[in-house]
Structure 1
Amino acid sequence: MLKGVRDSMLTLSPCYYIGALETSATYAIGDLSKPLSWGIPVEKICRERLSKTNPQICDLKYEKQIDVNAVDLNKLKVKDLKKILSDWGESVDFIEKSEFIKRINEVKDIYVKPTADTNKKDL
């Protein structure tokens, strides 16, 4: 079992739902890993196989990761801009969207590694 992690956190993890933990109620690793190794799409595995035995696995949702270098910050919602700053540990006590964008651009170099395209030099 993972040391230093509370039991309440483990019951929310995907490892708990597929049976990878000692405290898991079911054992569905084979039901999930074999079809994935065969190249069957995740949606089809959930819809046809796992929804009958363990529908909780298919209900897990994860937040999308935002690539700050690849996205136009002006097109993001304030909620997403606020999430970026809070993930970085920066203050999010702004009111206007432009303030969020300005702050992200100010601290972006600290938290985001530059992409390979920005490091290329003309020969």
Structure 2
Amino acid sequence: MVRILVAIADSQMRQQVLDMLSGSSCEAQWAGDGWSALHSARRDSYDRVIFDLALALGDGPDVVRKIEEATAPAAFLMLLASGYSPDADRVRRLAGIKQAARFLRAPFTSDELASAAGLQRRI
């Protein structure tokens, strides 16, 4: 089973993502800030990390880099608010991401989230 760390500050958005993931073959745990995500990443092993760009900007690129180091080689999926440009290089610089990351711009569907995270949807 795929293990996912969902690091999203906004509780409503976080719950929506967790609800969307519940229809996929994964086990999701969440963190409401970058430091909690870092603690979880150091404590447990994850295959994917879903990270909100706003959280990355709020807690800073150093936290993102430390989470990347703790979760390597987990795949990063960065969620973008609808106002952000999907320019991957710009987003990587803003968030301090070194690893290759996939990006998903809000609003998105459950199927889009599952596909971007590389998950199989349960029927």
Fold shared, TM-score > 0.5 on shorter chain: no
Give the structure-1-normalised TM-score: 0.23
The answer to which structure has the higher strand fraction is: 2
Q: Is the radius of gyration larger for structure 1 or structure 2?
A: 1
The answer to which structure has the higher helix fraction is: 1
